[in-house]
Structure formats: structure tokens, C-alpha cells
Amino acid sequence: MTAGLVVLCVAVSMIPGNALEYDRARVEAGEVWRLLTSQMVHWTPRMAAFDLGMLLGLGIWLEVRGDRRIAAVSLALGTVLTAFAVHSFSPDLSVYRGSSGVASTLFVLVAFRIAESQDRWTRVLALSAVALFLGKAAFEWLAGQALFAGPLPEGVRVVPLVHLLGGLAGSMGELLAPAVAPLPDLAQAQQAVRVEIDAIEEVQIARPLGL
């Protein structure tokens, strides 16, 4: 799933960015699809490599551990909240490109999944990652420049609110995890019940008569 999404973004990057970027005037004129496609194009190759690299690595980690549904729901939430951050909550923003919103979604989701570990220091490390994420957003808000994506073209500024709402989507995905986690395989469940019944029967057979 994640690999396919990244491949799609790479393919889309072959199209001139201004054809797909968020443009407030065009969105308000009816090109609402730009709210989605703007999250698939980037201002610079370095920005694309950072955003898509995070998406790929974190997404594959989630899929390997069986969290594909949770990742998909979180990405959907992140996409929607990024669109709100850009269009509704940043009225002075004219143009936008980037996948950092959904990358932030997966980063926070992965941190919270790791924080479920029984190991104390693993939990501390995971929650520290969330704290550093918030610190990064605060720095970008105050400094007005991206911390890892490198210098942006003249007139383009970082939008920390995108990262914060993307992270919020990851938190929401973690809260929704019990509801969207895949149901146990029926055959596995039946096998588990059968093992329990066999164990009970063995105990009953081994128990001395009259007791």
C-alpha cells in the first residue's frame, strides 16, 4: 500500500508542479482536487526525498507488523486535516506543495505504536520522539523555515500547522486502532478453541475418579 502510494507520487512528480499544486484562487474557482494532488508534489528534490522517504519507511514498518488498516485510516485522516490546514486555517496561504502532513501522521502513529511496548525505555524513547516532533513544529513556527526539508524557493514558506494537524491525525489513528484492527482469522480462532477444549479434556481424564 505505502510503496504504491510513494511510486504514484514519484510518477506524478514528472508532471509540472504548478499543474497539481494547491492554488487558492483555482481551488475557490472549483478545482478542489488540488487539495489532494498538492500533497503529492514538492518544491525541491530534497523535500520530496525527505517526505516520501519517511512515508515509505514508516508505512512499510506499520504494514509488516500488521497495522495496514490503521495506517490507511490514519493516512486518510492526515490527508483531510492537511487540506483543512492549508485551505481553511491558513487564509493567507496562496500556494502549497508537500507530503509532510501525511508523513507527520505516520511518524506520530509509529511513535505511539512503539510506546505500547512493555519495555520502559522503549516507551520513553517513543514518547520522546513525539516531544521532539512538537519541538520541531515549534521551531519552524518561530523561525519560519523548514528544519529538514532544506531551503525552499523564494516566496515559499513552511506551514507548521500542516505538521501539527498531520500529527493529530496519527494520534487519532492510534485511538481508533482497536476499532479498525483486522479481525482474527476464523480458522485460527477455531484452532485456538479446539486447543483449549483438548486441554480441558486432558485435565478431566487425568483427574482421579471421585475427586
Q: Where are the domains of the chain?
A: 2-183
- Residue 155 has a pLDDT of 79
- Residue 192 has a pLDDT of 60
Q: Which amino acid is at 26?
A: R
Mean pLDDT of the chain: 87
Q: What is the rounded distance in angstroms from the CA atom of residue 58 to the CA atom of residue 66?
A: 13
| Residue 211: pLDDT over 50 | no
- Residue 151 has a pLDDT of 77
- Residue 110 has a pLDDT of 96
| Residue 191: pLDDT over 90 | no
DSSP class per residue in 162-200: HHHHHHHHHHHHHHHHHHHSPPPPHHHHHHHHHHHHHHH
Strand partners, 22: 96
Q: What is the pLDDT of residues 14-70, one digit of tens each?
A: 888 889 999 999 999 999 999 999 999 999 998 999 999 999 999 999 999 999 999
Q: What is the pLDDT of residues 127-186, one digit of tens each?
A: 999 999 999 999 888 877 777 777 778 878 889 999 999 999 999 999 998 887 765 554
- Residue 190 has a pLDDT of 56
Strand partners, 96: 22
Closest CA to 107 of 136, 139, 69, 66: 136
Q: Which CATH class is domain 2-183?
A: mainly alpha
Q: What is the pLDDT of residues 70-112, one digit of tens each?
A: 999 999 999 999 999 999 999 999 999 999 999 999 999 999 9
- Residue 22 has a pLDDT of 96
Full-model pTM: 0.82
